[in-house]
Structure formats: structure tokens, C-alpha cells
Structure 1
């Protein structure tokens, strides 16, 4: 480079250029040569190195290198080479420290920092996509962590750029920022709370993308589609989107249905009110009729045998049904429902299933059906539940029972019509 500088200097002097002007032109010529070298290095890198890396990644069987060393990542890496060459070679164009030299060095360093931040950001984004493709990490809220790293990256980059502009060490700027920490915490309050909440949600495995959650306070009832630094997006079942601050999920209560999804069944819990006036003891004729029901035959016979043995053992006169042990139509109906649920193919056999009476009220005796369906998807689950209660409602009259129902307007009109008919007679 010194040989070229001397040759240019002699050529300018031979052309009759003054000494001061020839010195300036000499610097500019050297600077143009450096720029040309930097441009050629960038061109060679993008045309040569990029093609070489592309060929190598295409020949390998692995897919991660195709994504991690794609054209976008490598192009941004190649953009780092020209400013580094210019920064390193600037002293050759300006042997003496001048204001122009200082300005160009600062400008070059700022460009290097900016390009480095851009390259690191793109590389991290590609790495995030690669990790997100792994089955083990797909349900983790990694996007929030990625955004935290992005914020830290741009913060450090901004500090470095400002330190270059003012000619101070980055440690001096950080010391100054420490004094204004209260203001920074106020400005970035949501981001800081989101950061802490995101770490808690991830560390305690409280929330994952794909989880079904319900949070009435925020009208959220749907599937988590995204977890970021400042928001958790929930797609409700009516296809609306609810956004919830991450710290609200930590400070408030919400219901996560993941446990149900990972278990053996989804609970069905519903009751039917039985009219108390229809509950009575079973007559021998009724018991004979119930024995014809396949799933009740063994129960009727064993229960009747046990009742007779008890009555005979205690010398009970069972001519009156009030004496001793006797079966009731409601008890037989409960046994029928238990056997019916047990024999359903959709009933999860390893989980609780029962039919029980609740506290009687002015609306009758609530008979609660409690079991778990092995089908957990919403539409099939609702169809199963509806089919079961369709059957229950249809079979109740066969046991001499009646469902309690408040009188409707049609019932009132029928009573009035009968009373008017009776008065006319």
C-alpha cells in the first residue's frame, strides 16, 4: 500500500498538482482502493463462500444446517466483511490522525455494530425456528425468551453505538443508567413484569402453546396460540382473540385443561330431577318385568335373594312392604344406570363412575350421573353426553318414575279446560 501511495504521489506531482492538494487526492485514491478491495471481498464472499456452504449443506442428510446456514443468514454475515476491512485499512489512507479519519472510523464502527446486531438477530431467529421444530420444545413458550434476548441485544447495541458517538467507554454509560434505573423501570414496567412472569410460567410449566385455558376475568375460553414477552394470545371457541398480560396469569387464577387432555377421560357430571311422588316399592310384577332387562337380571336376582334371606333371618313379616328389606323403583333405576354406564364403550373404566342422589329440593330428587368419557374432543364429547341423557330420559317411565318439571302454559290450559268441562257436566 505504501508503494501505491508513493506512486500516486509522484504521478500527481508530475501532473503539476500542488503539494497540499496532491496529499488530499492521495488519501482519497487510497481510500477508493480500500473501498474497492472491500467490495471485491464482499462479492467473493457472497458468490464463492455462499455457494460453497450451500453445496455442503445440500449434500448432508441433516436438515438443521440447511435452515441454520441459509442464504439470508450467510448474506448478512458477508455484509460484516467489508466494514471490517475498511476499519482495519483506514490508517493506510490516513497515516496522520485527522478529524476526517476519526469521523470515518466512528462511522465504520457504528456500521459494524449495526450489521453485527442485524446478523445476530437473524441468526437467533433462525435458531428459534429450528428449536421450535423439535417435538420436545414445540409446546414451550420460547417466543417470550427469544424476545427477551432480542431486547437485551438491541439494548447492548444501542449502548455501544452511543459510546462510539460520544467517545466514552460503555461502562460509563452503564454507570449513568444505574442512576436512572427507577425511570427505566417505570418506562419498561410491562416488559420487566412480562419477563419475570414468562420465566415463572415456563419454569413451573403453568402454560404452553396449545393449552386450553379458561379465565372468566378476561373472557378467555380457548386455546393458547402464542406466548410472547408482553402478551398471551388465546383463540376463543368463537374464533375471537383474547390477549392477556403474562403477569395476570401469575397473579390471578386461571383454569388449564391440559390435565384433562393428558388424562384417560373427560368428566361428565349432570343430574336429572326425579318427581318424589313417583318413588315407591317394587311389586313382584315389577320385579319380574325388570328381570327381562339384560343388564338388570343378575342385580334383581341377587338383591331379591339377599332381601329374602334378611327378612327370614329376622323373622320379618313381609306381607307389608314397609316391613323388612324391599327394592324400590328408584334403587333399581340407579342400578340400571350404573350397569348401563359400565357397559358403555366410551366410559373410561379406570376412572370413577357412579350414580348418586343429591339433597332433595322443592324440585324433586336430583339424580346425578358422574363418569368419565374416553372421548375428550368437544363435538364427539357433547354428542356422547346428549345420547346418554336422551336414553335416560326415554327409559325413566319404564321404571314407574317421572321427571320433575315445572308446569308449562300448556299444562295450565289443559287443567283449565278439564275444570270447565267438569263444571258444564
Structure 2
């Protein structure tokens, strides 16, 4: 009977020790989650800088709140006489949460770094992700060994023999890391750059540069994720140089009907002299002794040459055209589609919408001005042209029959 009472007393003592330890663990969890976390968040909200607001992440404190009760159990192990197997599981639980805590810390470091202007030119997200992969790999391996009651250093010592296996498993990670180093040190891509990668269907702005992928938002708002290692395997076009130069190229041609090209006569010269932009040009040509009497053996003005001069003068006086960059008005090789008059200039605004508006305004004016020089735009016959021709032929046949 005496033994029985002693056993019951010991049971209640052990039970009370376990209960108190469990209660302390639960209290520590709620203290960290409800009090410490709220206190830290409120203190960060009162400061003037935003860096501590980024670091005061609720998810970070939730991770700490899971570690706190496990630490209480570890410190109380001698009191509650916890079995070694249970302690191994608790220690492994702590190791897992410390690993997740460190991974989260690197994410917050990247968030803080992104607040600086240099982050668009020198992103570190890929390198931090590589560190997260290494920490996760080592942390979870160590947790598994702790749970089994074995030293993780034995595994780390055998890493040399597993190098070939690790190289295979982490092949994409290694290749992506090397590609990321090339992108950063060669200054190939920044966040916000407009790039074109046709083989991946990418044509838009870079919105993220990570370890494994470069994310591009196309102009139609679709998202393309390009593997970082494969981005450098082929070619891609980066429009950053255009944006930094402050000029966007116009390279378009007006196709002229070659049958309308001719010399200018006196009346043409007099009429075109009334165009304000052309007046100094024509006067200078007349001063040089250009013939106006129809003598083909002498130097003469042509409608196409005068039109080319007009385009140059018009664009020279255009407020939206850069005069310090390449400025070229030229004829290209004639072909079945007429004679191309190419305009190769740069606008002073690189914004896509503004650029398209400038380009459209210029060609609206030039296309409307062609007829002033007795030229015509080349255009392949359409259905209406063939119908008109057929009607004319039919009328001609009817009139001949009469």
C-alpha cells in the first residue's frame, strides 16, 4: 500500500511538472506572438525611416513564436526527465524553424535593398536566393540528423564524396548563379529595361531578376519567365541604350511611283518657291546656275530631288527631332514596289506612345505633301482599281461599236 501511494504521488509530481512545462511553452508562444510582435510592430511604425518597417515582418515573428516554446522544453528537460528521443525531435524542430527564420531574413534583406536606387542596376535577389538554397539544404539535412540522434558533421564530412551527385542535383542552380554573375558584372540587364527575346516570346519590361528566372512583362501585360541560364545561351535585344541616349529611331520609307519622276519647269520652280521652307533652297540652286529652260544637257532640278530637300528641311525644323544624332534622308534601291525614300532620324522622346504620335504626325504631313511635287505614292492595284479599269475598257468598246 505504501508503494502504491508513493507511485501515485510520483505520478502526480511528474504530471504536474509536464503540465507546468507545457503551460510555460504555450505562454511563451503567445507572449512572443501577441505581445512581443505587436510591441515591435508598433515601435517600428513610430520611427521615421521605412527600413525597420520592412524588417518588422509578422511572418518573421511567427517563426520566432514557434521557436520559443521549443526552447522552454529544452531548458526544462532535466526537470521533466524527457526521453532522449523526444529531445531529439524537439531539437530538430528548433533547427527547422531557425532555418526558415534565416531564409526569411534574406528575403527581408532583399526588400530593404530594393528601396535603394542601385537595386535596379545591381539586383542581389539571385545571390540571396542561392544562399537560401544552401541554408535550406544544410538546415534540413542537419535537422534530419538531429532527429535521428546522429551528428550532422558526419554528413558534412562526406560531402566531398557526394560532389558529383550534388553537381547533378544543383546543376540548374549553379548555371543560373553563373548566368546571374555574368548579367551583373557585364551590366547586361537592369530591372525596368525593355528587352526583346523572340525565342521566348518576350518583348517588354524586366520586372524581376531572380536566381532561376528573369521575369518580363510584355506590352500586352502578359508575363514571361525566362530561365536565367538560357537567357545568355542565345541573343537578346536590350533597348536601354536608346532610353539612355534620349532618342528613338524613325526608319521608314515613302514608296514613290517612278513614272511620276520628272524635271521641274519654270512654273514648277515658281510655285514651289512659294513654300517657305523651300524658298532658300531653290534660290541657292538658281544662284548655282540650275537650268530652267528645259535643256537636258544642263543641270536641272527634279521633283523627287526637291521633295527630298523638303523632307530634310521640314525635319531640320521639327522641334521633336534630334539634330545631334544620325539624320539621313536617302533613296534606296528601286524595285517592284516603287522608289523608296527612306527617312532615318531620331525623335527626342523615347516614350512609346509619344514616339508613335510624333512619327504619325510626320508621315501624315509628308504623305499629304507628295502631290505638291507632282509625285504619287506607289500602290499596287486594288479591287476598285481593276473595277474602274474594266468599266473604262467596256465604255471604250461600246463607243467604238457605235
Quick one: structure 1 residues 291 and 203, their matched pair in 2 at CA, closer, same or farther if it must change by over 3 Å?
same
Q: Is the 8 A contact 1:272 1:368 kept in 2?
A: yes
Find the counterpart in structure 2 of residue 197 from structure 1: 179
The within-5 A match list for 1:200-239 is: 200-239=182-221
Quick one: structure 1 residues 158 and 408, their matched pair in 2 at CA, closer, same or farther if it must change by over 3 Å?
same
C-alpha displacement of 1:271: 0.8
Distance 2:227 2:53 in 1: 36
Q: Is the 8 A contact 2:88 2:146 kept in 1?
A: yes
The within-5 A match list for 1:281-300 is: 281-300=263-282
C-alpha displacement of 1:27: 5.2
Distance 1:356 1:331 in 2: 10
Distance 2:36 2:390 in 1: 96
Residue 187 of structure 2 corresponds to residue 187 of structure 1: no
Distance 2:62 2:255 in 1: 72
The within-5 A match list for 1:297-308 is: 297-307=279-289
Task: Find the residue that maps to 1:145 and give its secondary structure.
Answer: helix
Quick one: structure 1 residues 67 and 410, their matched pair in 2 at CA, closer, same or farther if it must change by over 3 Å?
closer
Find the counterpart in structure 2 of residue 65 from structure 1: 52
Find the counterpart in structure 1 of residue 88 from structure 2: 106
Q: Is the 8 A contact 1:57 1:66 kept in 2?
A: yes
Q: Which runs of 5+ in 1 are unaligned?
A: 1-12, 95-99, 312-317
| 1:59-81 residue CA offsets vs partner (Å, 9 max, x unmatched) | 42222113313444334334433
Distance 2:45 2:352 in 1: 44
C-alpha displacement of 1:150: 2.1
Q: Which is greater in Rg?
A: 1
Identify which of 52, 76, 97 aligns with 2:63: 76
C-alpha displacement of 1:421: 3.2
Identify which of 116, 136, 151 aligns with 1:169: 151
Quick one: structure 1 residues 302 and 161, their matched pair in 2 at CA, closer, same or farther if it must change by over 3 Å?
same
Distance 2:46 2:214 in 1: 40
Distance 1:174 1:103 in 2: 22
Find the counterpart in structure 1 of residue 332 from structure 2: 358
| 1:334-360 residue CA offsets vs partner (Å, 9 max, x unmatched) | 110011112222212322222111122
Distance 1:62 1:224 in 2: 28
Quick one: structure 1 residues 284 and 82, their matched pair in 2 at CA, closer, same or farther if it must change by over 3 Å?
same
Distance 1:330 1:47 in 2: 82
Distance 2:33 2:335 in 1: 82
Distance 2:91 2:123 in 1: 36
Task: Find the residue that maps to 1:232 and give its secondary structure.
Answer: strand
What is the RMSD of the two structures over their aligned residues, measured on CA atoms? 2.9
* More moved, 50-59 vs 103-112: 50-59
Task: Find the residue that maps to 2:330 and give its secondary structure.
Answer: strand
C-alpha displacement of 1:108: 2.2
Find the counterpart in structure 1 of residue 233 from structure 2: 251
Task: Find the residue that maps to 1:251 and give its secondary structure.
Answer: coil
Distance 1:291 1:191 in 2: 70
Distance 1:202 1:291 in 2: 58
Distance 2:58 2:230 in 1: 41
Task: Find the residue that maps to 1:207 and give its secondary structure.
Answer: coil
Identify which of 269, 272, 282 aligns with 2:251: 269
Q: Which runs of 5+ in 2 are unaligned?
A: none
* More moved, 148-157 vs 127-136: 127-136
The within-5 A match list for 1:5-20 is: 16-18=5-7
Identify which of 284, 296, 305 aligns with 1:331: 305
The count of aligned residue pairs is 399
Distance 1:381 1:367 in 2: 21
C-alpha displacement of 1:50: 4.2
* More moved, 217-226 vs 74-83: 74-83
TM-score using structure 1 length: 0.83
Quick one: structure 1 residues 169 and 339, their matched pair in 2 at CA, closer, same or farther if it must change by over 3 Å?
same
Distance 2:377 2:66 in 1: 79
| 1:367-411 residue CA offsets vs partner (Å, 9 max, x unmatched) | 101111223233332232222222212111111222222233333
